[in-house]
């Protein structure tokens, strides 16, 4: 049982959004997590009668940047809250895969 944060990022303009996985342990299997996220998003958008969006999300990219790591095995909840706090304070209005996650530093 481990908490991780996933942010759906919009690069801006008409570019395809991407998923950003913030993991304070880097213990997860990004491929498994990526598939679970895509399935979740597909079901969520199909349920809202937005099949075009659901189809586009089949090819959404997942990025796993390096973020501060927890020292023990009990801090993941605090780390997720920290990532959210930093994101709210300093996240840009649009993202580039070249400069994320600048809000973490």
pLDDT digit string, tens, across residues 28-58:
677 778 888 888 888 887 777 777 777 777 7
Are the C-beta atoms of 10 and 97 separated by less than 8 Å? no
The pLDDT of residue 100 is 58
pLDDT band at 81 (very low <50, low <70, confident <90, very high): very high
Mean pLDDT of 71-96: 83
pLDDT band at 17 (very low <50, low <70, confident <90, very high): confident
* Nearest CA among 86, 79, 56, 61 for reference residue 8: 61
Are the C-beta atoms of 9 and 101 separated by less than 8 Å? no
| Helix-then-strand count for the chain, H and E | 3, 3
């Amino acid at each position: 049982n481990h908490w991780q944060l996933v942010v759906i990022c919009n690069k801006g303009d008409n570019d395809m959004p991407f998923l950003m996985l913030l993991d304070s342990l880097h213990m997860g299997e990004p491929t498994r997590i990526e598939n679970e996220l895509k399935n979740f998003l597909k079901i969520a958008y199909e349920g809202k009668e937005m099949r075009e969006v659901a189809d586009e999300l089949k090819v959404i990219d997942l990025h796993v940047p390096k973020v501060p790591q927890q020292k023990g095995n009990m801090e993941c909840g605090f780390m997720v809250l920290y990532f959210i706090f930093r994101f709210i304070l300093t996240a840009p209005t649009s993202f580039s895969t070249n400069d994320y996650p600048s809000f973490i530093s």
